[in-house]
Chains A and B, each alone.
Chain A
Amino acid sequence: MSKRAFGIVTAAPQYFHVEGLHDYRPIGAFSFLGRYRVVDFPISNMSNSGIDSIQVYIGGKPRSITEHLSGGRYFNINSKKGRLDLLFSREGARTNNTNPYDTDIEAFIENLGPIERAPQPYVIIVPSYMVYRQDYEALLNQHIESGADITLLYHRVDDAKEHFLNCNYLNLNRQKGVLSIERNLGNTKDKNIFMDTYVMKKELFIELIQEARKESSMFRLSQIISQKASELDIRGVAHKGYFASLTDLKSYFDASLELLDVKKAADLFDDKWTFYTRTTDSCPTQYFEGAKVRNSMISNGSMIEGTVENSIIGRGVTIHKGAVVRNCVVQAYSEIGENVHLENLVVDKWAKIGHAQEIVAEADNPGYIRKSDVI
């Protein structure tokens, strides 16, 4: 267990909205690759980095995420010495929340007690809506050795014109010093996308929270840090490997399906770096006569009699005879009826799509089938 740092997993900023899925749960609780939830990735990164004092900020709709995290036992966190605390954050507390006062700073102030009482001198703040693998202990060592006040993790991309919109990026000097943190409005393709991941001393973190509040009640942590760029030593560290920011339906859909590519998946998954999740004790999946499955990830408890191509199938999904599911993310317990044809869709949990229908969307504008919908 790390005596040096504790972790905070933040809610997604309220200016992100993912069509459909987001109406039922925060982004961190989205199902990902069938058996995970997005928040499994930051929490597993922390657990594997030896950080087992973790505060997870949850906004509205807490049921799915509280049930999922349930005290941390599934995440290899010591049940006596470690802790996985779920803390309320107004940010993300409402669907379509556009209240600019509900910021991360607001959430930190609300939970200042647990932050102040944490015995560890450093804090590592990470987002619940981004998927990547990172050894935070290595990042902390790098931070301490560099002597910087704040270390920020970023990912170099060359498609920022169409992707990562509204994410922040780091404006860096040649020495990787951070000059400012700006919002990506899609004007240039090469950007250092900020991964909303911060390392700093706890004392500095508390100072920044208080200063941000004095400055403006709409200020965010990234904004106060950007404003301090000239007086503090703030450095960027480049992240290597797989990185996805799940901030709209398209980015969620793309990230899910691109991980079917074995090479891409190898950038995220590593035998020595387990991503933990909560088991639902479902049995293996049954493939019946006539089933045709190609390039897909299939979770347990499903029954497949139709065709599945380039898709992610969640737990307990039924795909009947003659059905074709192509380029889809089908979430848990959905049922795809006989001869139904689906393409480029995100099908939310418990949806039931009856006989012989064709629902086809475009790959660059995927469709969404609502939770528990009966079509």
Chain B
Amino acid sequence: MSQSNMLAMILAGGRGSRLHDLTNKVAKPAVYYGGKYRIVDFPLSNCANSDIDVVGVLTQYESVELNSYVAAGGRWGLDTKDSGVFVLTPREKADSGLDVYRGTADAISQNIDFIDKYDPEYLLVLSGDHIYKMNYDKMLQYHKANKADATIAVIGVPMKEASRFGIMNTDENGKIVEFEEKPAHPKSNLASMGIYIFNWKLMRKMLIDDMKNPDSSHDFGKDFIPVMLNNGKSLYAYEFKGYWKDVGTIDSLWEANMDLLDKKNELNLNDRSWQIYTEDSPCLPAYIGPDANVDVAYITQGCIVEGDVHKSVLFTGAKVAAGAKVVDTVLMPGAIVEEGAVVTRALVADGVRIGKNAVVGDANSENILLVAKNVKEA
């Protein structure tokens, strides 16, 4: 709390069921992305880079792997005396039984005691499953300048897609006049990014009211924000410009990885002034063998490439054996493509082995093939 007087809470309880087998055993924020990262590294690193010291991570669905992952706050530099990453799972309390988090707002309500310990002036609520780089401190400055009760980050989306999002209608000063969840006829293209700054004192009071409200589903988008608007609170939209992806499906996860192949990709993970931190895996640099062909690729340390790799992203420890071909494909950590195998337009899950001479995926397929189980040699 030494720096910005803002505490962050990351909502990381979602399953992401459209990611199918990738989220059978882990929650969506723990899904791998970009060669060496997990999705949750993005909000956590953004917090660290925005000088936010205390971050609570709210987990629920298949949380074992995610909990142990985020608990090592040192990965993001959040392990000094005044800083930390705290895992907050649903718990049994003295005055009530074990309760699951009933909604996004309820997850915060159930941890009011945790937040009170730090007595923050502002609370930042984030989603754990988005890929983007954002300086939350700039958003806080905007929030303060407007003397807002709440500020919601928004991003311009193509008008024809706007009906898939929560849309903010604002006046010319950015003040939110109306919020519409997935409107059939959107009036604006400013979509909520699920990033909120609240004045903690007011929010605390409203959360307690929300908890008691039997008609509420305890969700920020559906309940909490509309109540604030109806009560005449002052809400502002903070427009974010830059790369932002909510990777809900295998296709969009694949696509977000492919974005990194572009020389001038907007996310630019090579920017040393805003690094994304992650788990450090001790391994050798990537080794590219004497007969390999690597052209348009994103390859991290610990990979061994002896075959051909084209338009593909290789995660830590992935291997492509001699004579194998990997095209338009994502190989997640430890995935192995054996001699002579050909993998096209696929996303190969971590640890999966594609046997010798097997042919997987199709260059003309409409959707990306998720390979979550070993493929026998052909």
Contacts and interface: CB of A to CB of B under 8 A. Distances in A.
Interface in A277-294: 277, 279, 281-294
A255 to B, nearest CB: 15
Contact of B297 (A35, A276, A287, A296): A287
Given A283-B276, A285-B300, A298 B285 contact: yes
Given A287-B296, A288-B296, A295 B36 contact: no
Give me the 5 closest cross-chain CB pairs, A-B, nearest first. Answer: A284-B35, A283-B269, A284-B300, A279-B280, A295-B290
B287 to A, nearest CB: 6
B270 A303 contact: yes
B288 A296 contact: yes
Contact of B295 (A279, A283, A289): A289
Interface of B: 34-36, 74, 260-261, 263, 269-270, 272, 275-278, 280, 282, 284-301, 313-314
A269 B285 CA distance: 12
Given A35-B301, A286-B261, A298-B299, 12 more contacts: A262-B289, A275-B282, A281-B277, A281-B278, A284-B35, A285-B298, A286-B263, A287-B298, A295-B289, A300-B286, A308-B288, A312-B285
Q: Interface SS of chain B: helix, strand, loop or mixed?
A: loop
Contacts of B287: 260, 262, 296-298
Looking at A265, A286, A295, A296, the one whose CB has the most chain B CB atoms below 10 A away is A286
Looking at B34, B272, B286, B314, the one whose CB has the most chain A CB atoms below 10 A away is B286
A297 B292 CA distance: 12
A143 B284 CA distance: 32
Interface string A53-94: 000000000000000000001100000000000000000000
Contacts of A286: 260-261, 263, 270, 297-298
Interface in A142-171: none
Contacts of A260: 287
15 contacts: A35-B301, A276-B282, A279-B280, A281-B276, A283-B36, A283-B300, A284-B269, A284-B313, A285-B300, A293-B294, A294-B288, A296-B288, A297-B287, A298-B288, A301-B270
A295 B282 contact: no
Contact of B286 (A276, A277, A285, A289): A285
Contacts of B284: 33, 35, 265, 269, 297
Nearest to A303: B270
A292 B305 CA distance: 13
Contacts of A265: 284
Contacts of A73: 74
A55 B205 CA distance: 56
Given A281-B275, A301-B270, A287 B35 contact: no
Contacts of A269: 284
Interface in A1-60: 33-35
A299 interface: yes
A299 B313 CA distance: 15
A71 to B, nearest CB: 11
Contacts of A290: 295
